[in-house]
Amino acid sequence: MDFWNLAVKIIFLSQTTTGILGNFFLLIHYLIYYTEHALKPTDLILMHLMASNVLIVLSKGMPYTLADFGLKNFLNDFGCRLILYIQMVGRSVSISTTCLLSVFQAISISNRESCCENQKLKAAKYIGCSISSLWVMSISINFIFFVYILVKRNSKNTTRNRDYKYCSTGGGDDINAVLYTALVVCPEIFFSVLIAWSSVSMIVILYRHKQRVQHIHSCPVSSKNSPESQATKKILVLVCTFLAFYTLSSVLQGCIALLYNHSWWLVNVTRFTSLCFPSFGHFVLMSHYSFMPRFTLIWIWNKIS
């Protein structure tokens, strides 16, 4: 067991470090580009997605890593609930911006002759307002839940304490569970359905476009080499990766919520899967921007010198 404990420490330290550095590099890249050029709508959405991933890794991966290396229960009750609130905000923004990214790209690759052309122009025009609204919605909804559990923290109706290793806090009552389901779970399910629908739509559109191009023998450029097709495939890989890890993490977290006796393996696997997309999702984007880390480092070095 000592070997596995050491292995888990190394895995979570590597996962947290990779998540922080990778997301910061990508976020800095977008911020640098944003100061000199106008970001494309998809890049603007991706920038905020990376920001939400940073929040998740810092508020969840970092405390767990510190607890694994011996710094346990270093947060009081208020600090524990505050860090959980930050995690929830990061998670809500992550799934909502991923949904926005998927839906926007599905609209963007629609046929120009279709009735969605005006929608594409409006979506590109109001994308910044949409992102701001998602941040405000996530902060507000989770703040309502945060305030409620602070008011009820001394209630005698709480069921059991939850131990997060870096802190522990009282469990919620029935009203707490209903409030969480209504304000957090239901919107996440709605966003997940939209992500799945838009992803299937993109696959169908790309397939139909490929079929049409195959009949045009004189077409000099393959559809798979077009920038729009490449961008769509990149976003599809990113969205499918998010859905896979999000679904697995939700199932495992549901098992932990229903079970009173948590096995050591279940807890650690759940922690690992919940941080997989925030920690490794940026590799999907970096594979398409291979110059990005070098470009960012050169820019920072020139600014310093």
List the structure tokens of 220: 């000099």
Q: How confident is the model at residue 135 (pLDDT cuts 50, 70, 90)?
A: very high
Percentage of the chain with pLDDT > 70?
76
Is the separation of the CB atoms in 96 and 138 below 8 Å? yes
Indicate the burial class of 139 (C-beta count within 10 angstroms; 0-12, 13-18, 19 or more). middle
Is the separation of the CB atoms in 13 and 62 below 8 Å? no
List the structure tokens of 86: 């930050």
Is the separation of the CB atoms in 235 and 42 below 8 Å? yes
CA torsion, ordered 7, 10, 15, 20, to nearest 10 deg:
170
At residue 218, φ and ψ (nearest 5 deg) are -90, 0
Is the separation of the CB atoms in 97 and 85 below 8 Å? no
Q: What is the mean pLDDT of residues 115-143?
A: 78
- Which residues are within 8 A (CB) of 192 and not within 5 positions of it... i.e. 6 or more apart? 95, 99, 243, 246, 247
Is the separation of the CB atoms in 138 and 93 below 8 Å? yes
Q: How confident is the model at residue 13 (pLDDT cuts 50, 70, 90)?
A: very high
Give the pLDDT confidence score for residue 215 in this predicted structure: 60
At residue 109, φ and ψ (nearest 5 deg) are -95, 10
The span from the CA of 195 to the CA of 200, in Å, is: 9
At residue 168, φ and ψ (nearest 5 deg) are -140, 145
35 pLDDT above the threshold of 90: no
Q: Which residue has the higher pLDDT, 23 or 284?
A: 23
Residue ranges of the domains in the chain? 3-155+176-218+226-292
The span from the CA of 24 to the CA of 28, in Å, is: 6
Give the pLDDT confidence score for residue 288 in this predicted structure: 58
70: phi > 0 → left, psi -120 to 50 → alpha, else beta; which? left
Q: Which long-range contacts (CB under 8 A, 24 or more apart) does 245-248 make?
A: 245/273, 245/274, 245/276, 245/277, 246/95, 246/192, 246/277, 247/192, 248/273
Give the pLDDT confidence score for residue 160 in this predicted structure: 60
Per residue in 282-293, pLDDT tens?
888 776 554 444
Q: How confident is the model at residue 299 (pLDDT cuts 50, 70, 90)?
A: very low
Q: What is the mean pLDDT of residues 125-142?
A: 89
Q: Which residue has the higher pLDDT, 14 or 233?
A: 14
305 pLDDT above the threshold of 50: no
304 pLDDT above the threshold of 50: no
Fold of 3-155+176-218+226-292: Rhopdopsin 7-helix transmembrane proteins (1.20.1070)
51 pLDDT above the threshold of 90: yes
- Kindly report the pTM of this predicted structure: 0.84
List the structure tokens of 213: 């191009």
Q: What is the mean pLDDT of residues 56-74?
A: 90
Mean pLDDT, the chain, whole residue set: 79
Give the relative orientation of helices 77-108 and 127-151 as an angle to the nearest 10 degrees.
150
Q: What is the mean pLDDT of residues 65-72?
A: 87
Is the separation of the CB atoms in 241 and 277 below 8 Å? yes
